[in-house]
Amino acid sequence: MLAAYAVDVKQSRGRRYPEPPHPYRDDFQRDRDRIIHARAFRRLENKTQVFTRRYSDHFRNRLTHTIEVAQISRTIAEVLDLNANLVEALALVHDMGHPPFGHSGEKTLDLEMRKYGEFFDHNLHGLRIVETFEERYANHPGLNLTFEVREGIIKHSRDYSAEDHPELAEYLLDQRPPLEAQLIDLTDEIAYNTADLDDGFEAHLLSLADIRKEVEIFERNFRAVEKKYPTASDKLKFNEALKAMLNALVTDLIENTRARVEHSGVRNLEDLRNFPERLAAFSPTVDAERAQAKKFLYRCLYYSEQLKGQKADGEKIVGDLFGHWMNDPESLPPAYRRQIESGQETPARVVCDYIAGMTDNFILEQHQRLVQKAVSQ
């Protein structure tokens, strides 16, 4: 049973190119499956989350992070009587627009694009992937996903104005996205806050003492674990406390979102879309703890001295190759050269699209072949 304000697949606004229904999968299930089978989804396996493969090959990558977000999101959706199939599709697609080398690569691509009066936004790039770049079907371009999934790709984490983005006008920019989409940004943060504490601890970049001192929601659960398992190793106590932290964040998000919806007076999806603010949210107390954990991770892990080298390398590689292809577009693959020649896109956008689709491994090979080799000669 779906809540009255959930997205009913039978009321979907449909696909850009109409298709007959499938005999045993609804449209959101089909969207989920199309995403999983997309080439861009497979490439997430070789894209950095926090640690590059050169640091370790057993920490999270962009794909394993995505799977964790999907698991958390579907659980919450089912408890709140939302459309779990739509939520799962949105979770699986939410990071598909990310370039290689994580946020370092994204920042550098944006800086390079701004030199030419343009910009890079991974949500908008994700929309371009599913609408255009994926070529799997003879009767339409892209994956031909439903409106609700395409809307969620761009609106799950931020609002876009029709004035700044007239090309997105069809996506109801003056309205809130459904709860199914609102959840994704929050479950994304639950996943990476807890996972990055885990990987940072495993990498010996974050100490147990520092985590306990500076992350209150972890410390509160660690104290409870110590009482329950006094003889367990620190590593096992850490694992139990981290699981409890994740559970506390999920539980609070469920309970507070439910309470906010009830208090809002929202009765249906139209009411929810027209409500003045997003209703999916943590409680004020837990949100402060979430922000504290995030601040700790930025200061002690993401911007740590130990990771400065890999971030600088990633930024240099992306910047070098962007400059190389802007100066020598003839060295681009034929399909990308044709886009420039036809005037479909600006040279900067074509180069940006090419780099954004690369895995860490492939961009390293290209840099070695085109830049390092040229320097050595």
Q: What is the pLDDT of residues 142-155, one digit of tens each?
A: 999 999 999 999 99
Q: How far apart are CA 237 and CA 211, in angstroms?
A: 13
Number of domains in the chain: 2
Q: Tell me the two tokens of residue 209.
A: 């003492």
Secondary structure (DSSP) of 158-172: ----TTT-GGGGGG-
Over its length of 377 residues, how does the chain's per-residue pLDDT go in tens digits?
A: 999 999 999 999 999 999 999 999 999 999 999 999 999 999 999 998 887 666 666 789 999 999 999 999 999 999 999 999 999 999 999 999 999 998 999 999 999 999 999 999 999 999 999 999 999 999 999 999 999 999 999 999 999 999 999 999 999 999 999 999 999 999 999 999 999 999 999 999 999 999 999 999 999 999 999 999 999 999 999 999 999 999 999 999 999 999 999 999 999 999 999 999 999 999 999 999 999 999 999 999 999 998 898 899 999 999 999 999 999 999 999 999 999 999 989 999 999 999 999 999 999 999 999 987 666 55
Structural domain ending residue among the three candidates 251, 274, 307: 307
Contacts of 292 (CB under 8 A, 6+ apart): 214, 215, 216, 217
CATH code of 47's domain: 1.10.3210.10
**319 and 274 part of one domain:** no
What is the distance of C-alpha 67 from the center of its chain? 11
Q: How far apart are CA 110 and CA 113, in angstroms?
A: 5
**163 and 210 part of one domain:** yes
Helices 62-79 and 234-264 cross at an angle (nearest 10°) of 50
Q: How far is CA 184 from CA 50, 132, 181, 257, in A?
A: 19, 23, 6, 13
Structural domain ending residue among the three candidates 264, 289, 307: 307
pTM of the predicted model as reported, rounded to 2 decimal places:
0.95
**256 and 317 part of one domain:** no
**18 and 110 part of one domain:** yes
**246 and 338 part of one domain:** no
**171 and 319 part of one domain:** no
Structural domain range at position 82:
9-307
**280 and 355 part of one domain:** no
**245 and 356 part of one domain:** no
Sequence-ordered strand ranges (E) for the chain? none
Q: Work out the percent of the chain whose per-residue pLDDT is above 70.
A: 97
Structural domain ending residue among the three candidates 307, 332, 350: 307
